[in-house]
Amino acid sequence: MQPDTLHRWPLNAWYQAAWAHEIGDTPFARTLLGEPVVLFRDRNGHAHALEDRCCHRATPLSLGDVVEAGLQCGYHGLIFDGGGRCVEIPGQDTIPPQARVRSYPVVEQQEMIWIWPGDPDAADERLIIDYPYHDDHANWPHRHGRFHVQCSYLLMIDNLMDMTHVPYIHRNTIGAGVPEEQVRATMDVTRTEAGVHYIRWMTDTTPPPAYIQGAGWPADVKVDRWQEFEFIAPGTVTQWTGALETGCGALENRDQPGGISIRNWHGVTPESCSSCHYFWAPANGHRPDDAQATEALYTAIAATLREDIEFLERQQETWGRDPERPMVDIKHDAALKPARRAVERMIEAESGLATAAE
């Protein structure tokens, strides 16, 4: 592993490029994995991703238009199909074979557009994470959020891998109360093939006011509360958070009516070494018929994430001055460290492939 690994990301991997609804019939520009990309839907509604640079005069294709045959450059009218092949040059009968732009494998699945920045031949759709809740608006109504964050995607993943930050970063909002209760939660960490899984339990505890209100509990209720997170390298975290009244056996079965049950999607895609796109979508599993509850959940999560982001962007400034400088590990890094390690393994595997191929 080279010292600049912390700045890098695996290339042979699927990353969330966008929410499906973001890509319409006009070209959509987004820098992904350090490269300018233009996303668009062709006239059949299929999503495509091309390098956002015309091969003729290096103009961004996103300044052009979607036409019948593909994406037309807005400067001199060259048209490229979804595979990046030039199919028309105005005023010219033959098209030279080198007239093409890079295209990226793209898959649309479960309300997300996924992109593969590495070797196209290795792009196996079966590697894309299955997240059925996005297709299940009846039981898991949700809204899609996105933040453009000025920090490395790794700092965002770190943040999601350690919930002991809640009583500190969020000390004036959702983390208000007794820090010790949060800090002393049990924490089970399991390394997985693709990353790391952890679950924290706070049993026989007083829930936060928003939980009491959301579940319709009495004020003196005691609950068993869980925070379950799974990191799938390089950029996805799935979350299931909730609480059931103490005594109803939450530890054995969390799929019970009543209480609180929230699933949250976190898709983190590098934009540059020091910035990322953060896609998130909290699903309301406890009151699926209550649109207002879904909206309130979205609003509350957005406010909480803004507190994280304010912190992470300042952390990026300090960390970014010397990302290789050693950091001191603490006990609560139990999930964070294997998450980072899973990313490093992917990068090492690619380097190994590269070395073997030389």
Pairing of strands 47-51, 103-104: antiparallel
118 interacts with a copy of itself by CB under 8 A = no
Tell me the residue ranges of DSSP E strands in the chain: 15-19, 28-32, 35-41, 47-51, 65-67, 70-72, 79-80, 86-88, 103-104, 106-109, 112-115, 145-149, 186-191, 195-205, 223-232, 236-245, 260-272, 275-284
What the block records as the tokens of 62 is 């996103």
Q: Which of residues 50-109 bind a copy of itself (CB under 8 A)?
A: 52-53, 55-60, 63-64, 72-78, 89-92, 96, 98-99
Cis previous bond, 234, omega within 30: yes
We find the least distance from the C-beta atom of residue 77 to a copy of itself, in angstroms, to be 5
Going across the sheet that includes 86-88, the strands are 65-67, 70-72, 79-80, 86-88
Among 141, 167, 282, 338, the residue binding a copy of itself under the rule CB under 8 A is 167
Measured CA to CA in angstroms, residue 245 lies from 185, 260, 305, 351 at distances of: 17, 10, 27, 50
Nearer to a copy of itself, 99 or 283 (CB): 99
* Joined tokens for residue 25: 């019939």
Q: Which stretch binds a copy of itself (CB under 8 A): 126-134, 240-248, 253-261, 311-319?
A: 311-319
Residues 199-238 that bind a copy of itself (CB under 8 A): none
CA distance 109 to 150: 27
* 126 binding a copy of itself? (CB under 8 A): no
Counting contacts by CB under 8 A, is residue 271 touching a copy of itself? no
List the interface residues with a copy of itself, window 172-201 (CB under 8 A): 179-180, 183-184
| Closer by beta carbon to a copy of itself, 181 or else 204 | 181
Candidate list 219, 328, 354, 357; residue touching a copy of itself; CB under 8 A = 328
- The CA distance from 225 to 247, in Å, is 12
Applying CB under 8 A, the span of 267-275, 281-289, 297-305, 324-332 interacting with a copy of itself comes to: 324-332
Gap between the Cα atoms of 236 and 342, Å rounded: 12
Count the site residues for a copy of itself by CB under 8 A: 51
In the complex with a copy of itself, the residue whose CB is nearer, 52 or 224, is 52
Q: Is residue 164 a contact point for a copy of itself (CB under 8 A)? A: yes
* Sign of the C-alpha dihedral computed for residues 210, 216, 222 and 223 taken in this order: negative
Figure out which of the listed residues 257, 331, 356, 357 binds a copy of itself, where binding follows CB under 8 A: 331
Nearer to a copy of itself, 141 or 323 (CB): 323
- As measured in angstroms, the least distance from the Cβ of 79 to a copy of itself is 11
Site string for a copy of itself, 12-51 (x = CB under 8 A): ------------------------x---------------
Rounded CA separation 146/137 (Å): 19
Token pair 């891998």: residue:
161
**Closer residue to a copy of itself, CB minimum distance, 8 or 165:** 165
Whose tokens are 């509990």? That residue is 217
User: What sections of the chain are H helices per DSSP?
Assistant: 153-160, 166-169, 179-183, 209-215, 291-320, 336-357
Q: What's the CA gap between 148 and 35, in Å, rounded? A: 16
Segment interacting with a copy of itself, rule: CB under 8 A, options 19-27, 197-205, 270-278, 310-318: 310-318
Binding site for a copy of itself (CB under 8 A): 36, 52-53, 55-60, 63-64, 72-78, 89-92, 96, 98-99, 158, 162, 164-165, 167-169, 171, 179-180, 183-184, 311, 314-315, 317-319, 321, 325, 327-332
